[in-house]
Amino acid sequence: MYDNKSVTVKRKKDHLELFRAAPIDSRWTTTLLECVQFIHCALPETALDEIDLSTSFAGHHFRAPFFITGITGGTPEAATINRTLARIAEEFGIGFGLGSQRAMLQDDDLTTTYAVREVAPTAFIAGNIGGVQATRYPVSEICRLADRIGASALCIHLNPAQEILQPEGDRSFKGILTAIEQLTHELDIPLIVKETGAGISRETALRLRDAGVRHLDIAGAGGTSWIGVEILRSHRDKDPQATAFWDWGIPTAAAVCETGGLGLEVIASGGIRTGIDAARALALGATLVGAASPVLRAYYAGGLEGARNYIGSLLHGLRAATLLTGCRASRELATAPRFIRNPLKEWVAERREPHA
């Protein structure tokens, strides 16, 4: 209708190829999760295998607070990746996000590349579409995207920084908030608004909350740089006007703090790589943590077994960090004793009184 299917599919292929070659992370921005120092508990009086990782998000029970965030769709390779990662989500009782379903809007036949329900009958599966696409198609069509794959929730991704750095990307971001508000009324499953690596601020979270949104994936800076991806894809890595944006965004830990205390359920993602990263994000108030790039890299290195081992070891690390802070459940990390260092401490103080 409005988009060209071959451009969409080619872009998704390019993204996977670039990722296969090397991780494309922030160059100097960190997540700031390293600023969260837990106070070690030398007397935990519990056992590692008794640590409870379960939680609930968007009314769904999770056996562990982890979400494989949206990666791909639209191609035969994407279909295999989606089915493999969804199968792992089912095994671990965690969440799985499909990549953008834009290709499905352009060609119904590509639905099969997103169809994972069969291999993940009970897992929390999220559909995915861009905010800009949500303004261009009737609300009923966007709702149908989720229906057709039996999704538990629909993610609307916001990625203005990536689009602007993408030569063929969108240039107008008008009407997205209205489209989101309509979707919160029309969808009969939860709506999750997500970024893709530049974070969500308190101001944006408040506008989304006013529009009826209750779930965010803040996808902050410090992990995959989508701006970096687009710079490499368009061979502009020697262009200082472009590379100056490589590290643009709100660091993940700062975005979790920004969006806390607003009555929203928050997924912390962007640069979550280890169990300790996960524990730190949960300590700052996130309900779930999410990751894309390390899961995909583990899959490329070792297939289903590789991705399964990666998630298993991240959850082992989370369990260990929970025990070592004296907690019995990862849900208790929100109140675990900690020391917050600069620059995260300064960030939070400054943003609490922005005009002081």
Ligand X SMILES: Cc1cc2nc3c(=O)[nH]c(=O)nc-3n(C[C@H](O)[C@H](O)[C@H](O)COP(=O)(O)O)c2cc1C
Rg of the Cα atoms in the chain: 19
Cα dihedral 187/130/281/71 (nearest 10): 110
Question: Which residues have a Cβ under 8 Å from the Cβ of 285 and sit 6 or more positions away?
Answer: 256, 257, 260, 261, 266, 334
With CB under 6 A as the contact rule, the residue among 128, 152, 322, 330 that binds ligand X is: 128
State which of positions 179-218 bind ligand X (CB under 6 A). 194, 196-197
CB of 204 to ligand X, least distance (A): 15
Residues in the chain, total: 356
Site string (45-84) toward ligand X, x via CB under 6 A: ------------------------xxxx------------
Closest to ligand X by CB, 46 vs 201, is: 201
Angstrom distance (rounded) from CA 327 to CA 50? 11
Angstrom distance (rounded) from CA 133 to CA 336? 41
CB of 261 to ligand X, least distance (A): 23
Q: Segment contacting ligand X (CB under 6 A): 47-55, 160-168, 237-245, 263-271? A: 263-271
Alpha carbons within 13 A on the beta-carbon side of 150? 12
Angstrom distance (rounded) from CA 165 to CA 146? 28
Tell whether residue 15 is a contact of ligand X (CB under 6 A): yes
State which of positions 217-246 bind ligand X (CB under 6 A). 219, 223-224
With CB under 6 A as the contact rule, the residue among 95, 160, 260, 270 that binds ligand X is: 270
Q: Segment contacting ligand X (CB under 6 A): 87-95, 103-111, 286-294, 308-316? A: 286-294
Tell whether residue 31 is a contact of ligand X (CB under 6 A): no
Tell whether residue 100 is a contact of ligand X (CB under 6 A): yes
Angstrom distance (rounded) from CA 108 to CA 104? 5
Tell whether residue 157 is a contact of ligand X (CB under 6 A): yes
Q: How does DSSP assign 137-182, residue by residue?
A: S-HHHHHHHHHHTT-SEEEEE--HHHHHHSTTS----TTHHHHHHH
Give the binding site for ligand X (CB under 6 A).
15-16, 19, 69-72, 99-100, 128, 155, 157, 194, 196-197, 219, 223-224, 269-272, 291-293, 296
